[in-house]
Amino acid sequence: MNTSIEVEYWVVDTDGELTEPGALTDVSERTEEEFVEPLFELKTSPCETIDELRAEFVRDLDEVLSKAAAEDKRLVPLGTPINCGQIDRRSGERGRIQKAVVGENFDYAKHCAGTHVHVEKRNVTDQLNALIALDSALALVNSSPYIDGERVANSARAYSYRKKSYEEYPKHGQLWHYVETVGEWHRRLENRYDEFKQAALEEGIAEEAIEEHFSVDDVVWTPIRLRDEMPTVEWRSPDAALPSQLLQLADELETVMERLHHTTVEIETDSDPRNTGHVTRDGISLPAFDVACDLAEAAIHDGLESAEVVRYLDRMGFSVDDYHPISTRIDGRQYVTKADARDLRLEYANRLEEDVEGLIDVVDV
């Protein structure tokens, strides 16, 4: 099954201050700017095996780190910058329209760095439902509890997207209900596009501009998306994190996605989260949607401190003890000063570089 990942990292200078990626985006065709100035994105191509994915990701990231060192820049694997000054959005019509529609809360997205995992489309309905059910696996790589220095949740990024950025448009930014057909999913997309277009028109945005910069395929920012142009099913919930942890998460997620094609998938009706959800040789059982949502909420707010999330992810096939979320390591303060945030960014820039060195030792790049 073809799998790929996209990860966003903060770029800092040698003092830990946020800065633009500059020449880092010239390393390859898979290195890009993001919609805010201090973010950098690395994409992999679709890879047939996880071993190929791991080798490509590590090789490309190592090249970027070499370029960064030459430019006196570092990459930081945190879901938010913890605390910093103003973050500027890159100029562009798409962002301007989003801000006009969503309002001031759209600025919360400027503090978010995440990871997207793409899996090849096959039996898409089961893939969509399984990814919805597995959304709480984001807890495995939560990497920052802080926004503007304030502690908000174990995954401040996921909290900001779902509870703040799209507070007024929850159907555009939160988990969708399970579906019975792919057609049902597409109808939802069409409805969300119509809603967004109408809201933009009411803000005085020209219809031509809306249609030029938005489509049914890209008008939502939900945790799960269908990407027709790739074509993949995309899971967008995890934070940016250390490469080794992201690669393990992609590996274990792909294992479940692969098993979907060789077994039966059912959705349970049991509302007790202590008993629901299993991946076994006999089949895959997904929890009732309300239970999946409760588990996702616990994953955002409490991470792996939630015993129910840990037990559930274990039943679903994840090696929970092998993960060491950064959020848990740096949590514990109600407020982090800008000076301490700079120190944390530099500390985890070091951790990322060490992590890549360790991966190079075991990966054939």
What whole-number distance in Å separates Cα of residue 6 and Cα of residue 173?
19
Asked if the structure places residue 302 within a domain, the reply is: yes
The pLDDT of 237-251, averaged and rounded, is: 98
At 288, the amino acid letter reads A
**What is the model's pLDDT at position 358?**
95
Asked if the structure places residue 113 within a domain, the reply is: yes
Asked if the structure places residue 237 within a domain, the reply is: yes
**Interior CA angle at 196 toward 132 and 217, to 5°?**
50
Q: Residue 248 gets which letter from DSSP?
A: H
**pLDDT band at residue 364 using 50, 70 and 90 as cut-offs:** low
User: What digits encode the pLDDT tens for the residues 188-220?
Assistant: 999 999 999 999 999 999 999 999 999 998 889
User: What digits encode the pLDDT tens for the residues 107-145?
Assistant: 888 999 999 999 999 999 999 999 999 999 999 999 999
Asked if the structure places residue 357 within a domain, the reply is: no
Cβ count near 167 (within 10 Å) = 15
Full domain range(s) for residue 324:
3-352
CATH number of 111's domain: 3.30.590.20
Asked if the structure places residue 117 within a domain, the reply is: yes
Question: Quick one: tokens of 334?
Answer: 């109600």
User: What digits encode the pLDDT tens for the residues 294-341?
Assistant: 999 999 999 999 999 999 999 999 999 999 999 999 999 999 999 999
User: What digits encode the pLDDT tens for the residues 5-49?
Assistant: 999 999 999 999 999 999 999 998 899 888 899 999 999 999 999
**pLDDT band at residue 224 using 50, 70 and 90 as cut-offs:** very high
Percentage above 90 pLDDT, the chain:
80
Let me know how long the chain is: 365
**What is the model's pLDDT at position 361?**
82
**What is the model's pLDDT at position 365?**
54
Beta strands in 51-175 (DSSP E): 73-76, 115-120, 146-147, 150-151
Question: Quick one: tokens of 36?
Answer: 């805010």
**What is the model's pLDDT at position 183?**
95
**pLDDT band at residue 80 using 50, 70 and 90 as cut-offs:** very high
What residues contact residue 348 under an 8 Å CB cut-off, 6+ apart?
A: 76, 77, 78, 326
Question: Quick one: tokens of 170?
Answer: 């929850």
What whole-number distance in Å separates Cα of residue 346 and Cα of residue 279?
39
Asked if the structure places residue 364 within a domain, the reply is: no
User: Is the Cβ–Cβ distance between 43 and 32 less than 8 Å?
Assistant: yes
The pLDDT of 142-167, averaged and rounded, is: 94
User: What digits encode the pLDDT tens for the residues 45-66?
Assistant: 999 999 999 999 999 999 999 9
The answer to whether the pTM exceeds 0.85 is yes
Q: What total of structural domains would you count in the chain?
A: 1
Which run of H or of E encompasses 266?
strand 265-267
What whole-number distance in Å separates Cα of residue 285 and Cα of residue 316?
9
User: Is the Cβ–Cβ distance between 250 and 270 less than 8 Å?
Assistant: no
**pLDDT band at residue 275 using 50, 70 and 90 as cut-offs:** confident
Asked if the structure places residue 309 within a domain, the reply is: yes
**What is the model's pLDDT at position 363?**
76
Beta strands in 222-329 (DSSP E): 224-227, 232-235, 265-267, 278-280, 283-286
Q: Is the dihedral of CA 165, 170, 173, 174 positive or negative?
A: positive
Asked if the structure places residue 358 within a domain, the reply is: no
Percentage above 70 pLDDT, the chain:
99
